Structure 1
Amino acid sequence: MRLRDVAELVRAPAALTVPGDSLAGAAAAGFPYGARTAVTPLASACLYWAGMALNDYADRDLDRVERPERPIPSGRVTPGEALGVATGLTAAGLGLAAVAGGRRALRVAVPLAAAVWTYDLVAKATPAGPLAMGAARGLDVLLGAGGRERAAALPALAVATHTVGVTVLSRGEVHGASPSSARVALGATATAAALSAWPGSHGMPSWVGSGVRARNERGGRGRHPVGGRPTALAAAGAYLATVGKAQLDAARTPDAATVRSATGAGVRGVIPLQSALLAKTGAVALAAAVVGIGPAVRALSKVVSPT
């Protein structure tokens, strides 16, 4: 099993779309883990990769027919190796979550890991599949909330809604989708964009941006940090324009190639959504950093497919 085969098994570039999940949850909750918040994206990435490896393990018989080029049906990775990778990455994700937030983080990380395994092994082929996947990404947002899940409920709902739409549409990547599936995805994208632009923000702790916070408080705007609202609206608009356009194309021409393109746009498109959610809390620098991940995802996606 070569490193390139493992990268393809876990869809390595796609993990760059998850750091913004827990960061958005942390920002909405006031960064309860402090500097240890930086560890939560690593935990998220491990659990995401575990889900991708487990996906191929669960789909190994179907992939022999539909996608024989994938690592398991091509013989480059054995089913046992894929299951071992999934198990090891799950353990690593839970361990990193414990480092970030101890029991508070594990109270979310354990159900998150359970949701990943349930989706791949039980729910994926059922009507509940998209909801299970959406629940997993919503929990990923709450991973950063440090026990303040209510404060992070809106960003969790936005990311979960986006994920449900992308998952519904992704079922047509091989044989094409129905126009109604694409319309469901488009509706989910519009809803997620609206949630990300919804008024409301939370103040930042001093270690994130003491200067910005102080200026806001002197100006009587402690809960509306400078630049946050316009940046959030711009990011939400970019998200809706890119993901929504691809899904509209799929609604008009729901063949497999167009659906795959729209699914890829949806996978990458969560990044501007996360940026909008971060910006409206006042974490504008973090929002910009998350947006900066996008070009790397696009470039690496040309080497290893994220879907």
Structure 2
Amino acid sequence: MTEYGGDEQFGRWLVRRLTVVARLVRLPNLFTAPPDVILGAAIVTGLGRSVHVSSLVGLSVASMLLYAAGTTLNDYFDAPVDADERPERPIPSGAISRFRALLLGTSLLLSGVSIAFLASGVRAGVVSIVLALLVVGYDAVLKGSVLGHLAMGGTRGTNVILGTTVALRPTELPADVVSIPVVVALYIAAVTYMADGETEVGGRGGVGVAAAGGVLAAAGVVGALVATPPLPLDSLASVAFLVAFVVWIGRPLSAAFADPSPDTIGPAVGACVLGLVPLNAAFAGTTSLVWALCVAAFFLPALGLAEVFDVS
């Protein structure tokens, strides 16, 4: 009886610890990272290169670890501010110490870079180091500035480029192909600008910037479809996911613009982050339906987990 009680107590303790970590790493958001990498792989197949599935899986795992490192280190550096503005977060609430969060974030960062090296060699390792530097730079120094917004966007664009390293060096990418990660980066930079006003009232300007980023992203997909028209079925998939993206982010952005407050801007930020998945699927659809579906498959787990854990 004592042994059973001990096992049950340990089980509850383990669930609590895992829940804390899930909140710290923004578990739903982790499923938005592999779609970036898969989009990068789709891009290089469109250039006639082959992709090794094992390398793609490894880079997807690396991207998730680097994302988890970013959110964890974000909470580490933001702990003093969160104590006033977001006391429910793991560190200010006392669910985890700031030092342990630092150790966890650093471990995740190093693990992500290491796995990228193992998955696709030096080219992937170098890109993952750039990604790690952008993560740390944003979390520690640049947050709240224009450079910070661009750095956060840059992490997503670099994540797409990380996916291209399954077959190419970044320097081998044509200029028109590079425009896709640039559009993704600018979209997330705009969303980050809005997120900076999440805890403030009257952030209509930030919502407008995020909406403009969404329009730019949609225009990027249309441009890709026009520049290199894919097969009809692939085009249909791309347009369908583009419509899903616009609808998904449109409603919360409209609500936030009409009544800008923490209660509306927070959900708009979360919707725009999750909206990156259908956006990536729309871009991937310009290559093939199969790649679009591979990207879109990550939306459901992200959406389901967002019902339990915070996205922003």
Q: Deviations over 1:157-204 (max 9, x none)?
A: 22112201211111122123422211111011000111122235999x
Aligned to 1:289: 294
1:16 matched to 2:31? The reply is yes
AA paired with 2:204? P
Matched residues in 1 for 2:254 and 2:74: separation? Answer: 27
Matched residues in 1 for 2:164 and 2:295: separation? Answer: 18
Aligned to 1:132: 151
1:242 deviation in Å? 1.6
Matched residues in 2 for 1:199 and 1:263: separation? Answer: 26
Aligned to 2:17: 2
1:266 deviation in Å? 0.5
What aligned pairs does 1:215-254 form with structure 2 within 5 A after superposition?
224-254=230-260
AA paired with 1:195? G
AA paired with 2:292? A
1:145 matched to 2:164? The reply is yes
Aligned to 1:267: 273
AA paired with 1:26? A
Aligned to 1:194: 219
Aligned to 1:217: none
Aligned to 1:83: 102
* Inter-CA distance 188–6: structure 2 relative to 1 (3 Å threshold): same
Secondary structure of the corresponding residue to residue 199 of structure 1: helix
Which moves more between the two structures, 89-98 or 153-162?
A: 153-162
TM-score by length of 1: 0.88
Aligned to 1:26: 41
TM-score by length of 2: 0.87
Matched residues in 2 for 1:281 and 1:148: separation? Answer: 19
Contact 1:161 1:189 in 2 (8 A): no
Matched residues in 2 for 1:9 and 1:170: separation? Answer: 17
AA paired with 1:25? G
Matched residues in 1 for 2:27 and 2:81: separation? Answer: 22
1:173 matched to 2:188? The reply is no
Q: Deviations over 1:241-285 (max 9, x none)?
A: 221332222122111111011111101100100101111111x12
Aligned to 1:104: 123
* Inter-CA distance 23–189: structure 2 relative to 1 (3 Å threshold): same
Q: Unaligned regions of 5+ residues in structure 1, if any?
A: 204-222
Segments ≥4 residues shifted beyond 4 Å: 200-203
Contact 1:21 1:137 in 2 (8 A): yes
AA paired with 2:234? G
Contact 2:113 2:125 in 1 (8 A): yes
Aligned to 1:255: 261
Contact 1:183 1:248 in 2 (8 A): no
Aligned to 2:9: none
Matched residues in 1 for 2:201 and 2:124: separation? Answer: 39
Matched residues in 1 for 2:299 and 2:116: separation? Answer: 24
Contact 2:39 2:295 in 1 (8 A): no
Which moves more between the two structures, 19-28 or 152-161?
A: 152-161
Secondary structure of the corresponding residue to residue 144 of structure 1: helix
Matched residues in 1 for 2:233 and 2:226: separation? Answer: 12
The percentage of counterpart residues that share the same residue type is 33
AA paired with 1:67? R
Matched residues in 1 for 2:23 and 2:108: separation? Answer: 15
Matched residues in 2 for 1:120 and 1:111: separation? Answer: 14
AA paired with 1:181? G
* Inter-CA distance 199–156: structure 2 relative to 1 (3 Å threshold): closer
Contact 2:37 2:160 in 1 (8 A): yes
Instruction: Please tell me the root mean square deviation across aligned C-alpha atoms, in Å.
Output: 1.9
Secondary structure of the corresponding residue to residue 131 of structure 2: helix
More helix by share: 2
AA paired with 2:207? A
Q: Deviations over 1:62-107 (max 9, x none)?
A: 1111111111111111111111111110111111111221011112
Aligned to 1:164: 189
AA paired with 2:59? T
